[in-house]
């Protein structure tokens, strides 16, 4: 259960979350869908409108807060998680969301991202991952595949990419999920999960930049190819995919392999059953690496979630504890404590 003030009176509609500003993304940009889904789910999150804060860095995606009719702060490149930490620590009652891009969060903001996860600050990080720098017009990003040809890598990039989900798991985020711009229902479900989560929620959203990296996720989003290339993670359900759910993923040791459950005496009982609440993050890590393994589908859904105390809770509890043991701060006592002496004015 999230700690944000629960709204019981007012009933909002998506329109209430739409600001008066013209949206200025390129026609066809995947960001539109993300905005629309967020505006659609916001009324159902049980959070008072005035308690939403959207914070961003710099990039196309980071214009997001301007378009949400909530409190918003469009910051500087890469620093949104740090700004959000300041807000959340000072005001744990607010529902604090970060809109960020792959360059923003993982390149310049990599440090703040991992430290927000490490601390388990109760913020919800929406990573709009288009595997390219949009706003600066098409350079490769830290999630671009090796060999990517862009304006800054005419001969192909020689960098290995980051895997954002692996990174978030490793850094200690407590809710880790992935979704697509082209799957509104699924995206809405993930946004709700983030809203309800107490602690750092990280959602990677595969987002199409139709100008600089068009079709990067086509394989996963097109009707034809999607069933065989995407596996939906659901708690307590076997990892099945394919047009007729004929494929399953079997875990042999640490190695995931694809089996056809209708052949060779295989059955659904051989298939890995997803558990979001796994004690260790080893299986979530394996899941996160599917994207780098030949023949495996890309997982969407919640990889893992964990219940841990949040940074802001521990932070506030410590303050309350000190207040309790020492008493509320008394300014006079503070100033007049230590090696204090009196001077009676006549120089003695």
Partner 1 sequence: MGKTILDLTDVTVRFAGDSGDGMQLTGSQFTNTTALVGNDLSTLPDYPAEIRAPAGTTYGVSGFQLKFSSSDVHTPGDSPDVLVAMNPAALKINLSDLKPNAMIIVNINAFDTRNLKLANYDSNPLEDGSLQGFTVVQVPLSQQTSKALEGIGLTNKEISRSKNFFALGMMYWLYSRPIEPTIEWIKSKFKDSALLAEANEKALMAGYYFGENTELFTTRYQVYPAKLPKGTYRNVSGNEAIALGFITASVKSGLPLFLGSYPITPASDILHELSRHKNFGVRTFQAEDEISAITACLGAAFSGALAITTTSGPGVALKSEAMGLGVMTELPIVIIDIQRGGPSTGLPTKTEQSDLLQAMYGRNGEAPVVVLAASTPADCFYMAYEASRIATKYMVPVMLLSDGYIANGSEPWKIPEPDSIPEIEVKFQTTKEGFQPYNRNENLVRPWAIPGTPGLEHRIGGLEKSNITGNVNYDPLNHEFMVQLRAQKVDNIKHDIPLLEVLGDEDADIAIVGWGGTCGAITEAVRRLRVKGNKVAQIHFKYLNPFPSNTKEVLGRFKKILCPELNMGQLSKILRSQFDVDLVEYNKIQGLPFKSSEIELKFESMTGGNGNGR
Ligand X SMILES: Cc1ncc(C[n+]2csc(CCOP(=O)(O)OP(=O)(O)O)c2C)c(N)n1
Q: Which residues bind ligand SF4 (CB under 6 A)?
A: 25-26, 29, 31, 60, 130, 134, 209-212
Q: Which does 239 bind (CB under 5 to 8 A by kind): partner 1, ligand X, ligand SF4, none?
A: none
164 binds ligand X (CB under 6 A): no
CB of 151 to ligand SF4, least distance (A): 13
3-state secondary structure of 211: coil
Q: Are 217 and 180 in contact (CB under 8 A)?
A: yes
The nearer residue to ligand X, 128 or 311, going by C-beta atoms, is 128
Q: Which of 4, 69, 104, 183 binds ligand X (CB under 6 A)?
A: 104
- For the residues of 119-176, what is the DSSP string, one character each? HT-SEEEEEEE-SS-TTTTS---TTSPTT--BTTBTT---PPPP-HHHHHHHHT-SEE
The nearer residue to ligand X, 142 or 256, going by C-beta atoms, is 142
Binding characters for ligand X, 30-69, by CB under 6 A (x = yes): ----------------------------xxxx--------
**CA–CA–CA angle 48, 81, 303 (5° rounding):** 80
CB of 222 to ligand SF4, least distance (A): 18
CB of 209 to ligand SF4, least distance (A): 3
CB of 181 to ligand SF4, least distance (A): 10
CB of 142 to partner 1, least distance (A): 18
The nearer residue to ligand X, 105 or 284, going by C-beta atoms, is 105
By the criterion CB under 8 A, which residues form the site for partner 1?
19, 21, 48-55, 58, 65-66, 69-76, 79, 82-91, 93-94, 111-112, 115, 315, 318-319, 322-323, 326-329, 331-332, 334-336, 338-348
Which tokens belong to 131?
Answer: 């595997």
Query: With b meaning 16 or more CB within 10 Å and e meaning fewer, what string describes 29-56?
Result: bbbbbbbbbbbbbbbebbbbbebbbbbb
Q: Which of 43, 72, 92, 101 binds ligand X (CB under 6 A)?
A: 101
Q: Are 123 and 85 in contact (CB under 8 A)?
A: yes
Positive or negative CA dihedral for 306, 312, 316, 319? Answer: positive
The nearer residue to ligand X, 135 or 189, going by C-beta atoms, is 135
Q: Can you tell me the distance from the alpha carbon of 298 to that of 232, in angstroms, rounded to the nearest whole number?
A: 8
CB of 35 to partner 1, least distance (A): 14
CB of 211 to ligand X, least distance (A): 10
136 binds ligand X (CB under 6 A): yes
From residue 113, give the alpha-carbon distance in Å to each of 82, 167, 244, 304, 310.
8, 9, 39, 18, 15
Which tokens belong to 343?
Answer: 């001077």
Which tokens belong to 20?
Answer: 């008066």
Interface residues with ligand X (CB under 6 A)? 58-61, 77, 101-104, 128, 130, 132-136, 141
């Amino acid at each position: 259960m999230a700690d944000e003030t629960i709204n019981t009176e007012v009933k909002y509609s998506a329109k209430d979350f739409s600001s008066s500003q013209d949206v200025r993304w390129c026609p066809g940009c995947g960001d539109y869908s993300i905005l629309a889904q967020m505006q659609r789910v916001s009324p159902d999150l049980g959070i008072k409108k005035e308690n939403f804060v959207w914070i961003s860095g710099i990039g196309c995606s980071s214009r997001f807060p301007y378009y949400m009719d909530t409190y918003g702060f469009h910051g500087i490149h890469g620093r949104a998680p740090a700004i959000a930490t300041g807000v959340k620590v000072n005001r744990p009652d607010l529902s604090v969301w970060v809109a960020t891009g792959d360059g923003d969060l993982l390149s310049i903001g990599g440090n703040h991202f991992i430290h927000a996860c490490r601390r388990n600050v109760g913020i919800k990080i929406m990573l709009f991952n288009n595997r390219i720098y949009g706003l600066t017009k098409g350079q490769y990003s830290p999630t671009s595949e090796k060999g990517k040809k862009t304006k800054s890598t005419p001969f192909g990039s020689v960098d290995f990419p980051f895997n954002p989900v692996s990174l978030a798991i490793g850094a200690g985020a407590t809710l880790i999920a992935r979704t697509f711009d082209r799957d509104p229902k699924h995206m809405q479900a993930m946004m709700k999960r983030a809203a309800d989560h107490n602690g750092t929620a990280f959602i990677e959203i595969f987002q199409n930049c139709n100008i600089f990296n068009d079709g990067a996720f086509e394989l996963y989003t097109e009707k034809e190819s999607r069933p065989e290339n995407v596996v939906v993670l659901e708690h307590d359900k076997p990892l099945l995919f394919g047009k007729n759910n004929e494929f399953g993923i079997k875990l042999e040791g640490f190695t995931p392999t694809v089996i056809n459950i209708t052949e060779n005496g295989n059955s659904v009982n051989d298939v890995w059953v997803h558990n979001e609440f796994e004690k260790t993050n080893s299986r979530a890590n394996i899941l996160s690496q599917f994207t780098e393994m030949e023949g495996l589908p890309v997982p969407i859904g919640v990889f893992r979630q964990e219940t841990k105390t949040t940074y802001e809770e521990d932070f506030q509890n410590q303050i309350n504890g000190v207040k309790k043991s020492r008493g509320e701060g008394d300014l006079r006592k503070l100033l007049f404590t230590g090696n204090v002496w009196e001077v009676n004015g006549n120089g003695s």
